[in-house]
Every structure is written in C-alpha cells, then in structure tokens.
Chain A
Amino acid sequence: MAKQRLRQPTVSVTPEQYKSLAQQYTPKPTIIKNVVRAFVVGGLICAIGQVITNLFAAVGLARVEASAAATAMMIFLGALLTGLGVYDEIGKFGGAGSIVPVTGFANSIVAPAMEFKREGYILGVGSKLFTIAGPVLVYGIATSIVIGIVYSFLH
C-alpha cells in the first residue's frame, strides 16, 4: 500500500475519496450488449461444430468418433482464422462467446506462436506457446486428477 505523506500544496482529495470518484468516472462495461453478442457468437460457433459433427456422422463415423473429429476440425478452423488475422476481430466482437469454445483455445495457442516466432523457435515459440493457455491446462489437468481420485474412492 502506498500510504503517502505529501508536502503541501497538493490536491485536496484523499485516496479514499478518489476511489469513488474514479469509479464514478470510469465507463461501465456494456454487460448486456456483451452478453447478447457472446450468446450469438458462441451459439454460432457451437452450431457450426454441430453441423460438422452431423456431417461426419452422416458419412458413417460413430457418434463418439464424429464428435472427436469435429473437435479437431474446429481447432483447425480456430487456428486458421487466427493465422489469417480474423479471430482477434471475432474475439473483439464476441468476447466470451469466442473465447470459451475450443476455437478460442486454439486461438490462445496460435496467437503466442505467431507473436514469439521472432524470438526464435526454442526460447520464443517453445517457451511462450502456453503463456495464455498454460493456466487453463495446469488447473484443468489438476482438477481432473483430483476428481479422478475422488471418483476412484467412491467406487
């Protein structure tokens, strides 16, 4: 904490008063607009995923295999759109709607890969690849281990 003691003259607003002033002057996030956009974009991405799943199923893949193939397809599309410089525009519009689906995960890996290529393949791409996705992987895997242990005790 700062706890500054300033020689006079200075502003006659205390940090506490300033906090509420700052809140008052900071524009509120446009929550309703964001939620609606996230719903539409997220829904669209999932609908595309469902269409791809159905197509795979139609050409004879079993249900589990079709959804796995569709996931791979969506990851590919997310990566491709990131590479083409389109996904960050979708993200700006769709917010959580484009971050939560698997395409958003692909974006969070491909974006650093493109960004850090200039620092080389080992210490650039290699070490920075998971700067965004890393926390998701760490806590996702950790949670699945904990749940796995709990599950094994219950059965």
Chain B
Amino acid sequence: MGNQTVVFDNPPVILSSYSVVGPKEGQGPLGKTFSKVWNDQLNGEKSWEVAESKMLQEAMQGAIDQAGIPKDQIDVMLAGDLLNQLISTNFAARQIALPLIGIYGACSTMALSMAVGSMLIDGGFAENVLVGVSSHHDTAERQFRAPTEQGTQRPMSAQWTVTGAGSVLLGRTGAGPRITSATIGRVIDFEQKDANNMGSAMAPAVADTLVNHFHDLQRKPAEYDMVVSGDLGAVGLALAGEVLKQSGIDMGTKFTDCGVMIFDASQDVHAGASGCGCSSVVFAGEIMQKIKMGELKRVLLVGSGALHSPTSALQGESIPGIGHAVVIEA
C-alpha cells in the first residue's frame, strides 16, 4: 500500500517471545521483563563471540519451547547480528539446524526480520517462521571500536551496545498479537560522521520511514499506543522528534526508544543503548508483555540501523542510516 508499506491480508501471529540478556541489562529498569539473565558476559564460554552465539541459540530455542511447536513444523529461521559475516547467527543456526536466511540490517535487524517473516507467511511460503537477533557489548566493542581494557573516555553522545538476544516465533494460525503491516525503509544519509553519535546518524532514516508509514496508511501518530524506535538513544530520539515536527508530524508523548528504556541514568551509559539486541530484547520482553496484558493495543516498532563499517568510517565515509517499521496489534 502506498510507496513503501505492505498490509498483510492474513496477519501473522506472534506465537511466543523469548529474551536472554547480560548482567548489566538485567540490572536495568526492564530487568524483570527478560526471560533469562546471564550472570556474566562470558557465561562460561571461551570467548565473547562463542557466548553471543550461544545466547542467540538459547533465545531461539526458548521461543520454540515456549510456543510448544515441534521444530520440524518451522519452515525457516530469519536471524541476524552485528558481527562480520554474521558469525553469531551462523554458528547458532548450526546447532538449531533449521533452514536459515541470514539477515543484516545492522541494529534494525529485529524489525526487518519480523517484516520479512510476516511477508513469507502472508505470501503463503511458510507456516511458521522463527526470528532471532543478537548483539554483545564486548564483541561489538572490539569489532567497531577499541580493546575493552583500553582506558578511554566515551563522549556524552555515545551509546552502549546491548548484550542480549531476542527471539519470536511467527505463525500463520494461533493465538497472540498480530503483525498487521510493515514499512520497509530507505537508506538515508544526512552526512553524519561521528561513530560515537550514531543516534544522530540514524534519526533522519527513522523520520523518513515514519513519514512514509503515516502517508502510506493515512494514519496519525495518535492512532498508536506506542511508537518505539530501536536504538536511537536520547540524542537521536530528540532529533527524530524535531525533524518530524519540522516535517509537520507531531509525535506526541508516545514516541520512545528501546535504547532509552533499557538502561537508566545511574548505569553510566551516556546517551542510552544500541545494538540489534537492544530492540530485540525490549520487544520480546517489555513490549510483548504489555501487549499481552492489554496495556498496549497497537504498537509501531521502528528498527534503526547505522550502516557503516570500521573500514568505511576510517576512509572518511559518512554513516548511512535505515529504519524499518512493523505494526503489532493485540
């Protein structure tokens, strides 16, 4: 419908949701909403990379078990993470052993995978689709920035990569909240270059996706109980709100961000959280809980991704952003 939005004729059902997080996330304000909290970042594995992959595997297995659907009835899994060549996903998929479509949308991967999964089901190509997305603070830190024991100061605009994996199982039939439409975003680059201020790089892309979403569906922000971006952080959220306001869309008070929700001010994370684990665990935990309890009837989740690499950053390229939106209705 419109330029970028699809409305599902048979909206897929979210049959189950499961989240696994690291200790810092567990201590945060949403700590109780997660299915499982690890005691430390390694959880007994020999490296952070192995730990991340195990975390994703645990989350996906958790979602399968919770739905009570036999594994052989799941047609395909859509999964992604932040590491080069999607190693967390591929190594987790080696153990789960279902047909895999690896997805990279940087930190927007959760919303993107849910959108693609819904298309597969609504299009008649799959009955049940497993979605899983992870990120790990230490693996991301060493890939994108500096060694973790390096003594440096992070700027006030910097965000903290979430250690967490979230998973949902989508099905054609069953009980639960439904994914009713999705807006696939465009890559938008407003020439921001600071990798320590990714919220400001992604905000225009999120704003563009929202403008198109509301335009395509002829809706207003007030028709949603919650519009939540993936990981814009405090700086990016304020910027996105301002850009939308100048574009004639008033987001009101229900516009928030998973990266702002997951940590509180005492946790020394500066502008909030980031990473594709951020929106996946906040969605699978807090947001799903509130939808199930009836507190939220219609939610718009806009995953936000910063599409740079350490190489492109060193070569002086700006940071392109992307935003993908899915509508979840109780």
Binding site for B on A (CB under 8 A): 1-2, 4, 6-7, 9-13, 15, 18-19, 21-22, 25-30, 34, 82, 85, 87-92, 94-95, 98-99, 104, 107-108, 110-112, 114-116, 118, 131-132
Q: Would you call B152 and A9 a contact (CB within 8 A)?
A: no
- A residues less than 8 Å from B151 (CB atoms): 82, 87-92, 94, 98-99, 104, 107, 111
Say yes or no: is B191 at the interface (Cβ < 8 Å to chain A).
yes
Give the nearest-CB partner of A38 in chain B: B153
Cα–Cα, bound, A123→B271 (Å): 35
What's the Cα separation between A116 and B142 when bound, in Å?
9
Give complex CA distance A110, B149 in Å.
8
A115 touches B248 (CB 8 A): no
Contact B156 A27 (CB under 8 A): yes
**Are A2 and B247 touching (Cβ within 8 A)?**
no
- Residues A11 and B247 in contact, CB atoms below 8 Å apart: yes
Residue of B nearest to A93 (CB): B153
Cross-chain contact B190 with A91 (CB below 8 angstroms):
no
Kindly identify which residue among A7, A85, A94, A112 contacts B147, using a CB–CB cutoff of 8 Å: A112
Query: A10 with B211: in contact, given A2-B191, A110-B149, A132-B147 (CB under 8 Å)?
Result: yes
Which DSSP category, helix, strand, loop or mixed, fits chain B's interface? loop
Q: Inside 8 A of A19's CB, which chain B residues have their CB?
A: 190-191
Cross-chain contact of B149 among A13, A87, A94 (Cβ < 8 A): A87
Known: A4-B188, A11-B247, A111-B148. A21 touches B153 (CB 8 A): no
CB–CB B150/A132 < 8 A: yes
Q: Do residues B147 and A13 form an inter-chain contact, with CB atoms below 8 A?
A: no
Whose C-beta in chain A lies nearest to the C-beta of B215?
A: A9
- By a beta-carbon cutoff of 8 Å, the part of chain B in contact with chain A is 3, 46-47, 142, 146-157, 186, 188-192, 197, 200, 203-204, 207-208, 211-212, 215, 235, 238-239, 242-244, 246-248, 271, 318, 320
Q: Which 4 residue pairs of A and B lie closest in terms of their CB atoms, listed nearest first?
A: A91-B151, A2-B189, A115-B147, A27-B156
A27 pairs with B318, CB closer than 8 A:
no
8 further contact pairs, Cβ within 8 A, besides A13-B207, A116-B147: A6-B208, A11-B208, A26-B197, A27-B271, A82-B151, A98-B151, A107-B149, A111-B146
Interface of A is mostly: helix
In the bound complex, CA of A26 to CA of B242 (Å)? 13
B128 CB to nearest A CB, Å: 36
- Looking at A19, A22, A107, A116, which has the most chain B CB atoms within 10 Å of its CB? A22
Q: Distance in Å from the Cβ of A12 to the closest Cβ of chain B?
A: 4
Asked whether, in the complex, the Cβ of A114 is within 8 Å of the Cβ of B147, the reply is yes
CA of A128 to CA of B72 in the docked complex: distance in angstroms? 44
Q: Are B242 and A25 in contact (CB under 8 A)?
A: yes
Contact present for B211 and A115 (CB under 8 Å): no
**Cross-chain contact B149 with A30 (CB below 8 angstroms):** no
Between-chain CB contacts (< 8 Å), 23 pairs = A2-B190, A9-B211, A9-B215, A11-B208, A11-B244, A13-B247, A15-B190, A21-B242, A21-B243, A22-B200, A22-B203, A22-B239, A26-B157, A26-B197, A26-B200, A34-B153, A87-B149, A91-B151, A92-B151, A94-B151, A98-B151, A114-B149, A131-B147
Cα–Cα distance between A26 and B203 once the two chains are bound (Å): 12
Chain B contacts for A116, CB-based, 8 A: 147
Tell whether, in the assembled complex, residue A11 and residue B152 are in contact, meaning their CB atoms are under 8 Å apart. Answer: no
A94: chain B residues at CB < 8 Å are 151
Closest to B245 in A: A13
Assess the A6–B186 pair: CB atoms within 8 A: yes
B152: contacting residue among A7, A10, A99, A115, CB under 8 A: A99
Give complex CA distance A15, B120 in Å. Answer: 36
- Rounded to whole Å, the gap between the CB of B286 and the closest CB of chain A is 26
Q: Once the chains bind, are A22 and B192 in contact (CB under 8 Å)?
A: yes
A132 to chain B, nearest CB (A): 6
Inter-chain contacts of B235 with A (CB < 8 A): 25-27
User: Which residues on A sit within 8 Å (CB–CB) of B191?
Assistant: 1-2, 15, 19
Taking CB as reference atom, which chain B residue is nearest A119? B47
B-chain residues with CB within 8 Å of residue A99 when the two chains form the complex: 151-152
